[in-house]
């Protein structure tokens, strides 16, 4: 039965990686994987010889002596445990996405345009990359990439399409590097933070410099490239339609997201509670600015009231634009990995790896493989590989995993959400990126990882 579970995972993951070839959204195989793996476990529960207690972080003793009813009760409790942990992450992400959409509702991201006041190609490279680095450390790398590429389109004329592709490539590197050093910057760091593998303070302390190096090294090398020599002429931009509250909502939204780790530190409540508080506070301000009745639960009443400049409640608009396919994809992936963890497959594989090769070398390879394989399941699996008694919270292994999984995906354009969205927006081909940008991404990855090795040696 264990073999059958692995086969289902492999086939499902192949379907996810071949999403564009099969023309099948990746959430479908992810959800099917989840259902099939847990169904197989339910039918074969009496035949398993071992069970991993995820709550205690060790193999369950006395499992072989359990009867059928006790085993099924254990399965139900395990499933509920994993679903609860997964739901915490998903609710957190929904809140973060809703805040980002609410900022966008008020055209808040147009504020970033004010920071770009240059016509030098080299200076523009540094400005957009640094903006991408810090923006993605607060909001997700996908959104920051969309925002900056949209701004680039307004700065560079249509006939500079290849130049925009170069900038987009470095925005990908910057967004992935920026998301790796904060607990709210990337799904994988959020998973490690909420899974109590790292704390916010130590994550920032140990990963800030490696993440900066991951960006600065390739930027420095690229500054001497012929592509970024000379100047450009930006077309005129119409700002008459911009919301008068764009700056307020931009800064307030980012501040409320940053407040989430502070709230957790003060109250010791799970991060999703703080995110719901931040969403509620921003929603109140948004509704007041829109001159609307404060109503989070009655869309009919909210939609009936006529508006001068906006149609519908900003809260409802933001919630309706949350990417539910991504949320369901994460649900399927995380629960599938949880099924293999419960059978002890991931834990046993982790023990085998630790006996065979150095942990740092394994994590380096894991990070490089995230350029091909989605980093969410890689991190989910790695969280079950290492025994918490041997690798406690804030052990250097978890920081290595956070950096490797967050930045390794930059080496191929399909290796991260930022890369995939840039691929679609700027029509960047897989081989163009591999030929032009992959080398710079590799330089940054090696520089950051090398610094961490020196730091922990």
C-alpha torsion sign, points 27, 28, 30, 34: positive
- Identify the pLDDT of residue 239: 56
* Cα 132 to the center of its chain, rounded Å: 14
Is the per-residue pLDDT at 317 higher than 60?
Answer: yes
Closest CA to 226 of 183, 166, 282, 177: 166
- Identify the pLDDT of residue 305: 45
- Identify the pLDDT of residue 31: 92
Report how far residue 259's alpha carbon sits from residue 236's, in angstroms, rounded to the nearest whole number.
36
Average pLDDT over residues 369-374: 78
* List of residues 6+ apart from 27 with CB closer than 8 A: 325, 326, 328, 329, 332
**Residue 159 corresponds to which tokens in the numbers above?**
């006939």
What is the band of 388 on the pLDDT scale with cuts at 50, 70, 90?
A: low
CB atoms within 10 A of CB 204: 17
Question: Per mean pLDDT, which range of 72-76, 259-263, 340-344 is the poorest?
Answer: 340-344
- Identify the pLDDT of residue 45: 86
- Identify the pLDDT of residue 68: 86
* List of residues 6+ apart from 454 with CB closer than 8 A: none
Report the percent of the chain where pLDDT is more than 90: 32
- Identify the pLDDT of residue 237: 56
Is the per-residue pLDDT at 85 higher than 90?
Answer: no
User: Mind listing the pLDDT tens digit for each residue in 171-222?
Assistant: 999 999 999 999 988 888 988 998 889 999 999 999 999 999 999 999 999 9
Is the per-residue pLDDT at 306 higher than 60?
Answer: no
Report how far residue 290's alpha carbon sits from residue 294's, in angstroms, rounded to the nearest whole number.
10
Q: Are 193 and 271 in contact (CB under 8 A)?
A: yes
- Identify the pLDDT of residue 233: 76
- Identify the pLDDT of residue 304: 47
Average pLDDT over residues 245-259: 90
- Identify the pLDDT of residue 399: 94
- Identify the pLDDT of residue 153: 81
Question: What backbone torsions phi and psi does residue 280 show, to the nearest 5 degrees?
Answer: -65, -45
Report the percent of the chain where pLDDT is more than 70: 91
Chain position carrying tokens 């590429």: 149
Report how far residue 286's alpha carbon sits from residue 58's, in angstroms, rounded to the nearest whole number.
47
User: Mind listing the pLDDT tens digit for each residue in 29-78?
Assistant: 889 999 999 999 999 888 888 887 777 667 788 888 888 888 898 899 88
Q: Are 199 and 150 in contact (CB under 8 A)?
A: no
Average pLDDT over residues 123-150: 88
C-alpha torsion sign, points 245, 273, 336, 416: positive
Q: Are 434 and 412 in contact (CB under 8 A)?
A: yes
Q: Which residues of 255-275 are buried (b: 16+ CB within 10 A; e: fewer)?
A: ebbebbbebbeeeeeebbbbb
- Identify the pLDDT of residue 297: 54
Look up residue 10 and give its DSSP letter.
H
The larger pLDDT score, comparing residue 158 to residue 167, is at: 167
CB atoms within 10 A of CB 67: 9
What is the band of 234 on the pLDDT scale with cuts at 50, 70, 90?
A: low
Average pLDDT, the chain: 84
- Identify the pLDDT of residue 390: 78
Question: What backbone torsions phi and psi does residue 122 show, to the nearest 5 degrees?
Answer: -65, -45
Chain position carrying tokens 């359990």: 66
Is the per-residue pLDDT at 167 higher than 90?
Answer: yes
Question: What does pTM read for this prediction?
Answer: 0.76
């Amino acid at each position: 039965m264990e073999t059958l579970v692995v086969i289902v995972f492999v086939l499902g993951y192949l379907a996810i990686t071949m999403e564009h070839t099969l023309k099948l959204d990746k959430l479908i195989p992810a959800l099917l994987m989840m259902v099939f793996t847990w169904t197989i476990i339910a039918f074969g529960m009496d035949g398993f010889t071992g069970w991993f207690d995820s709550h205690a972080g060790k193999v369950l003793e006395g499992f072989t002596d359990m009867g059928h009813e006790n085993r099924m009760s254990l399965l139900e409790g395990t499933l509920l445990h994993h679903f609860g942990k997964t739901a915490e992450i998903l609710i957190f992400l929904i809140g973060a996405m809703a805040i980002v959409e609410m900022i966008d509702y008020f055209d808040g991201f147009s504020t970033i345009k004010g920071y770009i006041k240059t016509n030098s190609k080299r200076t523009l490279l540094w400005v957009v990359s640094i903006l991408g680095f810090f923006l993605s450390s607060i909001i997700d790398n996908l959104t920051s990439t969309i925002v900056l590429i949209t701004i680039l389109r307004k700065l560079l004329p249509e006939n500079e399409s290849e130049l925009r592709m170069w900038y987009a490539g470095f925005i990908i590197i910057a967004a992935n590097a920026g998301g790796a050093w904060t607990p709210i910057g990337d799904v994988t760091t959020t998973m490690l933070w909420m899974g109590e593998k790292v704390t916010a303070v130590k994550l920032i302390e140990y990963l800030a410099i490696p993440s900066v190096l991951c960006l600065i090294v390739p930027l420095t090398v690229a500054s001497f490239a012929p592509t970024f020599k000379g100047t450009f002429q930006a077309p005129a931009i119409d700002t008459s339609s911009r919301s008068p509250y764009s700056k307020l909502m931009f800064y307030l939204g980012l501040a409320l997201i940053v407040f989430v780790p502070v709230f957790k530190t003060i109250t010791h409540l799970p991060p999703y509670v703080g995110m719901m508080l931040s969403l509620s506070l921003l929603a109140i301000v948004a509704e007041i600015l829109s001159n609307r009745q404060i109503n989070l639960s009655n869309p009919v009443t909210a939609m009936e009231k006529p508006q001068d400049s906006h149609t519908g409640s900003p809260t409802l608009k933001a919630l309706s634009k949350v990417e539910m396919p991504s949320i369901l994809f994460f649900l399927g992936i995380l629960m599938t990995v949880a099924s293999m963890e419960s059978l002890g497959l991931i834990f046993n594989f982790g023990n085998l790896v630790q006996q065979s090769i150095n942990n740092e070398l394994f994590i380096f390879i894991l990070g490089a493989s995230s350029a091909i394989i989605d980093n969410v399941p890689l991190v989910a699996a790695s969280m079950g590989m290492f025994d918490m008694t041997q690798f406690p919270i804030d052990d250097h292994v978890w920081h290595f995993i956070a950096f490797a999984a967050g930045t390794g995906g930059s080496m191929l354009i399909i290796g991260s959400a930022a890369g995939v969205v840039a691929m679609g927006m700027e029509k960047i081909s897989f081989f163009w990126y591999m030929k032009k940008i992959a080398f710079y991404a590799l330089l940054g990855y090696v520089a950051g990882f090398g610094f961490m090795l020196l730091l922990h040696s």
